[in-house]
């Protein structure tokens, strides 16, 4: 009888020890479910509603100048310039370009100027839902949101959002605001050269300008301008029709 009581007490102690762990795991599970639900709701809402503001905008000490513009009111060469400059396989991949990521990692391992391997989809996910900067945690969230927008938004909406939230100059967001800032006209009147210059600014908008660009920005812009025709001829923008 004593042995039975002793065994019962031991089992009770083991249950007590497992209790806190089980509670923690339960709360972690609930937190994950809540995050999945909230992120799905965010993506579903922004499939139809213009993105009002992003964390990058809110923390920009230079203020916010933006003007949401539908893709149909942006010159098609602007999207082609973005594809030529940022993500040539935009219409072919499902959010991630494994080859570009691998090449960027190999290039960065050699030192020098850091090169990114993010697709337009990844950049859009980061710009809309997350914050700037690196780290594995943020990269993991970026991957999750990238999967969601690829599945729920589709390519045309991704490009539309990207061209409206990307920083195009100091305190300037979206290509409509960029077109007004640099060229004093709307984004539907952009020439191939103007679109290419805005696209050349996108990677470093606080350090580059589309007016009288020089050095790398000028060379990169000229290269993008030459490739706009190739994007159109090869149907690399076919997913935007």
The residue ranges of every structural domain in the chain are 1-46, 52-240
For the entire predicted model, the pTM comes to: 0.86
Q: Give the per-residue pLDDT at 16.
A: 47
- Provide CB contacts within 8 A for 189, sequence distance 6+: 75, 179
How many CA atoms does the CB half-sphere of 100 hold within 13 Å?
A: 17
State the CB neighbour count (10 A cutoff) for residue 202: 21
- Domain 52-240: assigned CATH number: 1.10.3810.10
Q: How do residues 23-70 score in pLDDT, each as one tens digit?
A: 888 999 999 999 999 999 999 999 999 999 999 999 999 999 999 999
Q: What is the pLDDT of residues 181-240, one digit of tens each?
A: 999 999 999 999 999 999 999 988 888 888 877 788 889 999 999 999 999 999 999 999
pLDDT of residue 9: 52
Tell me if residue 52 falls in helix, strand or coil: coil
């Amino acid at each position: 009888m004593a042995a039975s009581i002793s065994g019962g007490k031991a089992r009770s102690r083991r249950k007590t020890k497992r209790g806190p762990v089980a509670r923690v795991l339960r709360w972690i599970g609930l937190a994950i479910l809540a995050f999945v639900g909230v992120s799905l709701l965010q993506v579903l809402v922004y499939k139809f509603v213009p993105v009002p503001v992003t964390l990058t905008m809110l923390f920009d000490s230079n203020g916010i100048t933006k003007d949401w513009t539908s893709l149909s009111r942006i010159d098609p060469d602007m999207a082609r310039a973005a594809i030529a400059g940022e993500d040539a396989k935009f219409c072919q991949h499902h959010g991630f370009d494994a080859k570009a990521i691998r090449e960027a990692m190999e290039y960065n391992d050699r030192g020098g100027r850091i090169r990114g391997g993010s697709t337009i989809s990844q950049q859009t996910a980061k710009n809309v839902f997350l914050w700037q900067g690196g780290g594995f945690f943020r990269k993991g969230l970026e991957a999750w949101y990238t999967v969601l927008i690829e599945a729920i938004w589709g390519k045309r909406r991704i490009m539309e959002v990207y061209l409206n939230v990307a920083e195009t100059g100091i305190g300037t967001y979206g290509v409509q605001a960029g077109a007004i800032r640099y060229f004093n006209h709307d984004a539907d009147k952009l020439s191939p050269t103007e679109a290419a210059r805005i696209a050349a600014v996108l990677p470093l908008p606080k350090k580059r300008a589309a007016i009288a660009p020089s050095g790398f920005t000028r060379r990169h812009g000229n290269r993008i301008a030459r490739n706009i025709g190739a994007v159109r001829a090869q149907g690399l923008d076919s997913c935007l029709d």
